[in-house]
Amino acid sequence: MIEDGSTFDGIGFGYPADIAGEVVFNTGMVGYTETLTDPSYRGQILCLTYPLIGNYGVPSIEDTDEFGLPRFFESDRIQIRGLIIHDLSVVASHWSCVKTLDEWLYEQRIPGICNIDTRELTKKLRINGVMMGAISTWAVQEGAATNSEIDVRERLSGLIKNQTYVQQNFMPEVSTNTPRVYGDKARDTLVLLDTGTKNSIIRNILRIGFRVVSLPWDSSFDEVMLHKPKGIVISNGPGDPKVCKTAIKTASELIKASVPTLGICLGHQILALAAGADTYKLKFGHRGQNKPCIDLRSNRTYITSQNHGYGIEPKSLNGTGFKVWFSNVDDHTVEGIEHESKPIIAVQFHPEASPGPYDCIFVFDRFKELLDDFSRRSSSARTTESNNDNNKSNPKVKMSVARKKKTKEEEICQNMKQ
């Protein structure tokens, strides 16, 4: 059932349970293991619009990459509250498959429901906007009394009324509680402010040659700078960005101090709020792997992977020091910002993809270029400052300067006499 009273009958799978959450849809065709473990979906019931789900099963979380991160999972557990699909594949076939989607959801105690008209449900969400909903699934035992339709409707209606999504702070559920270190200690450090980060963001920071120190979402500016980072990455995450007040305060200090920073998804919104801009809730969000965005620097269009329900109010960027970097082709929403004078950039989409196209992975490489340029300019400034200090303490230089000033004064006086 969804908030407007519409009900959809189907067949339960996964773990039998009654749950409620914000109902959203994703248009991606593949990548359900990455999608379901994305912390940005915390508190939501996910409807997948592609009709056949589960045909390649679920791989092992023990299958890791060269950095020790799971290849096919974006966190250590399923993050959604419930799954809605049309056709569940009970047979899974793939070389990496170790279990079915049904088995995985059961292990993780997540309810799913199939045989749903996902097209009709998606149309309702597109027309009316995302809304709260509930799922009730139960195991049918031979000889046991069945739930009446009236009882189920009342139970679902009660679940929806008692559950909220807007203004709920999911950070304690998705952020690390203590600092976590990834990569070679001999490398320069990037601090990752974990507001619900995906493993692929960590992977790409390691790929460009840095060590990662992941910190809790509510870390202060001083706690961040204690690690002497070359730069900061503010990650993706769930919910309303305005709830993340501590992260916004930290980001505002990063901007003020001109610390090189990259914001992704929720991090994009946090940086905008920290600069004085405003955010708002989208009607039905952007969730899929085929969202076109224009790079306004080159006028080139990229296909991006997205998962967000909030956006930046474009006019509110005036006077913040930020300008629009990327724009959404479909609805012209802000998809990226860059500071006019500081090494700070952010994107609303997911440059790390996972799942989705890797067309925009260059965003991490551009951030590395900003870091390298900032380091060169900082080093040059320190050298100049050191030379100036040496000149001030060198009496020969002082005498030379004094002679030059005297010569200039004598020249002026001579001209006045003439």
- For the chain, 418 residues long, give each residue's pLDDT as a single digit of tens: 999 999 999 999 999 999 999 999 999 999 999 999 999 999 999 999 999 999 999 999 999 999 999 999 999 999 999 999 999 999 999 999 999 999 999 999 999 999 999 999 999 999 999 999 999 998 876 555 566 677 888 999 999 999 999 989 999 999 999 999 999 999 999 999 999 999 999 999 999 999 999 999 999 999 999 999 999 999 999 999 999 999 999 999 999 999 999 999 999 999 999 999 999 999 999 999 999 999 999 999 999 999 999 999 999 999 999 999 999 999 999 999 999 999 999 999 999 999 999 999 999 999 999 999 999 998 777 666 666 666 666 655 444 444 444 444 455 345 434 4
Under the phi-then-psi rule, with left for phi > 0, alpha for psi from -120 to 50, and beta for the rest, what region is 174?
A: alpha
pLDDT of residue 140: 72
Local structure of residue 260 (DSSP, 8 states): -
Q: Treating both helix axes as pointing N-terminal to C-terminal, what angle do 362-392 and 395-417 enclose, rounded to 10 degrees?
A: 80
Query: 3-class SS at 292?
Result: strand
CB 275 within 8 A of CB 320: yes
19 is written with which tokens? 């749950």
Cα–Cα dist 202/41, whole Å: 18
Active-site amino acid positions: 265, 350, 352
Query: 3-class SS at 58?
Result: strand
Q: Which residues of 219-247 are buried (b: 16+ CB within 10 A; e: fewer)?
A: bebeebbebebbbbbbbbbbbbbebbeeb
298 is written with which tokens? 């080159």
Which of these, 324, 273, 276, 328, lies nearest to 306 by C-alpha position? 328
CB atoms within 10 A of CB 180: 14
**Gap between the terminal Cα atoms of the chain:** 98
Q: Pairing state of beta strands 344-347 and 334-339?
A: antiparallel
Torsion of CA 12, 18, 24, 30, to 10 degrees: -40
H/E stretch holding 313:
none
Pick the CATH number of 11-161 from 2.10.25.10, 3.40.50.11820, 3.40.50.720, 3.50.30.20: 3.50.30.20
Q: Is the peptide bond before 355 cis (omega within 30 degrees of 0)?
A: yes
CA 72 to chain CA centroid, nearest Å: 17
Cα–Cα dist 151/212, whole Å: 51
pLDDT of residue 396: 55
333 is written with which tokens? 């929403």
Residues contacting 359, CB < 8 A, separation 6+: 302, 303, 304
> Does domain 171-373 sit in CATH 3.40.50.880?
yes
Tell me how many degrees the CA angle 166-115-152 measures, rounded to the nearest 5.
60
pLDDT of residue 392: 65
pLDDT of residue 388: 66
- Residue-by-residue DSSP string for 100-147: -HHHHHHHTT-EEEES--HHHHHHHHHHH--EEEEEE-----TTSPPP
Q: Is the dihedral of CA 249, 252, 256, 257 positive or negative?
A: positive
Q: Domain boundaries in the chain?
A: 11-161, 171-373
H/E stretch holding 261:
strand 261-264
Cα–Cα dist 17/105, whole Å: 11
Give this prediction's pTM.
Answer: 0.90
Which of these, 75, 336, 31, 360, lies nearest to 202 by C-alpha position? 75
